[in-house]
Amino acid sequence: EILRYVYCEAHRSQPNLPPELVLAVIDVESAFNRYAVSPVGAQGLMQVMPFWPQKLGMKLSELTRVRENIHMGCEILRFYYARENRDFRRALARYNGSAGRRAYPDSVISLWTTRWRN
């Protein structure tokens, strides 16, 4: 189910996202736990912050729903990817709220290139 939604959402609109990158984000963010909640309140598979659903025309209650959370996470990542001139490393740092730091983007990119691209 998750794989199908990741593939569809990654290709839903431009710019397309590599589905394997989205899987790496989910792996790092929640370890595939749809009910994960971070210490700062991010929720679901892609750890979406509670202010995003309203900005995306969605409901707060959709944060832990698999399809909806993946949709929101992909839209957010796509937004930052465009904002950062198609630089995945910088987009990932913004997605995580760690702009200017390398640990999070390095973790995601490492999983993307080793676990999820094969």
Q: What pLDDT shows up at residue 115?
A: 83
Question: Mind listing the pLDDT tens digit for each residue in 55-105?
Answer: 999 999 999 999 999 999 999 999 999 999 999 999 999 999 988 899 999
* Amino acid symbol at 48: V
User: Quick check: pTM over 0.85?
Assistant: yes
Q: Is the pLDDT of residue 118 over 90?
A: no
pLDDT at 116: 80
pLDDT at 117: 76
